[in-house]
Structure 1
């Protein structure tokens, strides 16, 4: 059990994150779980319970003990890095209010881990995936629906939650679409004619009334379509096409960005289209096609051109 004072501090911190921190509900929930686990560790580590004053006395050895404990119970380096980030944020927040020095916590080194590079589909594989999902259902309108969703992922770079979050009021799609992504971040994405046609074909065939306040994409019984269905139809399609397990809905979004970059797209423009808060997130795509980057460098860099 976490001491009441720490529990209250944790709840106030989470409420502030949700209200003004710009974090998504899922991020706030994950931060809460990470810090609650850390505080529970302190209770056990100290033996006699830990109150709010204990946070101000945290040492580097305390942090190392907690991290060793987390790794021993199977937490990956990546997950531990996220947990440490949450703990640092919480401790810094408490330090501002309680007036202690949080240096020991903030100076704790983040575990090293290799960033997983996106695994995009080849252009012909992405097109084949979109074409194949339409043929996997006996009800014609559901095939059009699945095809429309995948076309939005690949043609507009939407997250699966963003595509399935579209409402009846968003239809028919225009030349651009206003999307509210992670943390409520707003962006405008252009909608290709092929995506507009795919969604329009689905909307015309859908047997349900697509009212403004209802989900645009419907399940068989009329409720909102869930992401698991799209994952399943892609699993079936990739089995037919002989594609690897990495051919997921999110891979369609990666493919959108990668293929744009390979065609000479500007990295910052792609960042805006994807809704990434940081350019470093988008820069993961630069490792996908080094040959293409070298071509751009050699063709445009003044020194390279002079040689």
Structure 2
């Protein structure tokens, strides 16, 4: 088997058995295609399983160095947008992660047990702290967005969408992927069934405010069938996330709100406000659909950062210098 054939089998495994997202599959293909192309040049011929078995850490470091040099050449072009050190570190970390996933698959399915990828050190990345809205800003946002909506029925649709994002902590893709039938089931059961990343399923309690906002929108929804998208665009199809992002951007600029305010900031706000209210970390993990508790723990950092800001603004020692 050639390495290219093994890569195709790996991608099929990720798609069919691991239920990897389209974005993950595209990233895996891009990074691993580049790896195999480099190895073909580096080793002077077609790469097969035997060559993958004997790769050294030095070979893999050479690939990462080659990618870094290529990125610097691209950044030196006229009008090129330079990447930040954080972006470069994230790109390298993604490539190392793709490499290790590929070789774990090769070890399990094809007997290629090469320890080199696991010995390859990834970059140390700075832990990013989510930047939530204040409670007041999060509660006011859906009505503000509705005011800048462009079509007659858009205000009810957009208000319902942003109430849902904050009230249930959904990703924009999860909200826009819902159909009317899922909403009818949620109305009957009191919980919304969400299919998240990696095919993971979770139940999110249905708040009264969310239910009222969705009921108001569904009263003017143009399609009453159960299979119709819950949020529809101008032509009756599923609402494009870019339209929702543009509407929020219009509101953000009119209201003078920070540039980091995106639909995903409402998910951050949902989690952070739960943590501030004393919610259990495991419960927040379940509500967000995180596979790892480590991901959810970022919100404890956001909560601590908020406490520090309150302390700095309110405590006399914070400004007295003594």
Say yes or no: TM over 0.5. Answer: yes
71, 91, 94: which one pairs with 2:68?
71
8 Å CA contact 2:192, 2:203 repeated in 1: yes
Measure, in 1, the Cα distance between the counterparts of 2:241 and 2:5. 35
Deviation larger for 130-139 or 213-222:
130-139
Give the unaligned 5+ runs of structure 1.
Answer: 295-307
Deviation larger for 103-112 or 47-56:
47-56
> Residue in 2 aligned with 1:211?
225
Measure, in 1, the Cα distance between the counterparts of 2:239 and 2:176. 7
Distance change (3 Å), C-alpha of 1:96 and 1:271: closer
- Aligned ranges for residues 40-189 of structure 1 at < 5 Å? 40-74=37-71, 76-172=88-184, 173-174=186-187, 175-189=190-204
1:146 is paired with a residue whose SS is helix
**TM-score between the two structures when normalised by the length of structure 2:** 0.85
Give the unaligned 5+ runs of structure 2.
Answer: 72-86, 309-322
8 Å CA contact 1:268, 1:279 repeated in 2: yes
**TM-score between the two structures when normalised by the length of structure 1:** 0.89
- Aligned ranges for residues 217-296 of structure 1 at < 5 Å? 217-290=231-304
Distance change (3 Å), C-alpha of 1:245 and 1:291: closer
Please give the root-mean-square deviation of Cα atoms over the aligned residues, in Å. Answer: 1.9
Over 3 Å off, 4+ runs: 95-101, 291-294
1:289 is paired with a residue whose SS is helix
**Pairwise CA distance, 1:100:** 4.3
Deviation larger for 218-227 or 38-47:
38-47
Measured against aligned partners, the alpha-carbon deviations of 1:168-222 in whole angstroms (never above 9, x if no partner) come to 212344221111100110100001111001111011122x123111211111121
Matched residue pairs, number? 290
